[in-house]
Structure 1
Amino acid sequence: MGHGPVVVTAAALAAVVLGLAVRRWLVFVTTVESASMAPTLRPGRRLLTRRLTRTERIRRGDIVVVASRELGRTVVKRVLGLPGERVLIEPGGRTSVDGRPVAESYVVHAGGPGGVFLVPPGCVLLLGDNRARSSDSRTWQDPYLPVSAVRGTVLTGPVRWRPARARTPGRPPQEGTRTDGVTCAEALSPPARGS
């Protein structure tokens, strides 16, 4: 009869340890801080995020949580470009990868800058769903983030589908629009030692 408090304490301790283990190795909670992913993800929404293992592959369309060295914070964005791909984003919002159009039913507020992006090996190109109001790879000094900076993929319900609206094709951006400056490959290189 005297084992009741011991059993309860042991069960509580086991639950805490299990919870910490799950958070450390499997999932964590992220809070959306901006409207850049609206309407898919609204500001203030808390998201359950699955940590990536070393063997997992990131896929186009994944919503990821990334540690951005350039911004000095964690951001939530959608993967558009994968290593080695050529991504064209027209000013009107139409996108293509290696010359093939990408269907993006989750984008309801197209706009913002366009460009041609040549994604370096080991890197990804990230955009917000609310293209007109998103600070993302199109506007960052280094548009590419190392795959190693991806902390996890967001576990979310089904994306609301909206029919594609007719868009007026704009003039495609010039080749090399966003290929200058620091590259992801340079960001992956070890820093030079000072003397």
Structure 2
Amino acid sequence: MIALAAALAVTASALVATVLVRRRVVVVTVSGTSMTPTLHPGEKLLVRRCGIAALKVGDIVVLEPPRVPVSPEVTVLAPLPARTRWQVKRVAALPGDPIPPPAREAAGTLRAVPDGTLIVLGDNDASNDSRLSGPYPADRILGVALRRPAGAPFPGPAIR
């Protein structure tokens, strides 16, 4: 009887731990080429859910593209799919930082990243990112990529 109770306690603990981890960590599969040569389609990323305060320039993030303009100067050029389509990008600038050269045209008259937004760029110059959409709203961030599930770290920033 004691062994059964102990086994149930261990199982319950494992279940609770799994639920708690899943609230904080997700696995995302890369599906496009915007982060090549750093990441390739089919690679899996371990992502820790977080907000903008936990990010630094050079981090790889998973976020939703903007749905509406974040300022009168910035507009979204392409329609978005009906269901959430996450993007994997590298943080190029955070609130208060100067707008990096690749995103200046899309940012309109903005010279610094507005509060509540960030500039993200794919490592591949052909990426659909802040070069086209300007600043991304921070409330669209899913989290920061920690590593590939196999444990391999990411190469350093490829920000130009």
Provide, for residues 37-76 of structure 1, a one-character-per-residue CA deviation record: whole Å limited to 9, x for no partner. Answer: 112111111111112157x342111111112343342111
Look up the match of 1:128.
122
Q: CA deviation at 1:15?
A: 0.6
Pair 1:68 & 2:69 matched: no
Q: Following superposition of structure 1 onto structure 2, how do residues 28-67 of structure 1 map, counting pairs within 5 Å? A: 28-52=26-50, 56-67=53-64
Q: CA deviation at 1:114?
A: 7.5
User: Conserved in 1, the CA contact under 8 Å of 2:51 and 2:138?
Assistant: no
Q: CA deviation at 1:116?
A: 6.5
Q: CA deviation at 1:10?
A: 2.5
For structure 2, the 5+ residue unaligned runs are: 68-79
Residue identity in the other structure for 1:130: N
Find the aligned partners of 2:17 and 2:153 in 1 and give their Cα distance: 28
SS in 2 for 1:49: strand
- Aligned identity (percent) is 39
Provide, for residues 119-161 of structure 1, a one-character-per-residue CA deviation record: whole Å limited to 9, x for no partner. Answer: 2222111111111x31111123xx2111222121100243346
Q: CA deviation at 1:13?
A: 2.1
Q: How many residues align?
A: 132
Closer, same or farther: CA 82–160 of 1 in aligned 2, 3 Å: closer
Question: Which one of the candidate residues 130, 145, 169 is aligned to 2:136?
Answer: 145
Pair 1:82 & 2:80 matched: no
Find the aligned partners of 2:66 and 2:6 in 1 and give their Cα distance: 46
Q: CA deviation at 1:14?
A: 1.3
User: Conserved in 1, the CA contact under 8 Å of 2:106 and 2:130?
Assistant: no
SS in 2 for 1:130: coil
Find the aligned partners of 2:135 and 2:120 in 1 and give their Cα distance: 8
Which is greater in Rg?
Answer: 1
Find the aligned partners of 1:160 and 1:152 in 2 and give their Cα distance: 18
Find the aligned partners of 2:36 and 2:30 in 1 and give their Cα distance: 10
Provide, for residues 2-31 of structure 1, a one-character-per-residue CA deviation record: whole Å limited to 9, x for no partner. Answer: 33333223212211111111111x212111
Provide the TM-score with structure 1 as the length reference: 0.59
For structure 1, the 5+ residue unaligned runs are: 90-112, 162-195
Whichever structure has more strand as a proportion of its residues is 1
Look up the match of 1:15.
14
Find the aligned partners of 2:48 and 2:141 in 1 and give their Cα distance: 11
Whichever structure has more helix as a proportion of its residues is 2
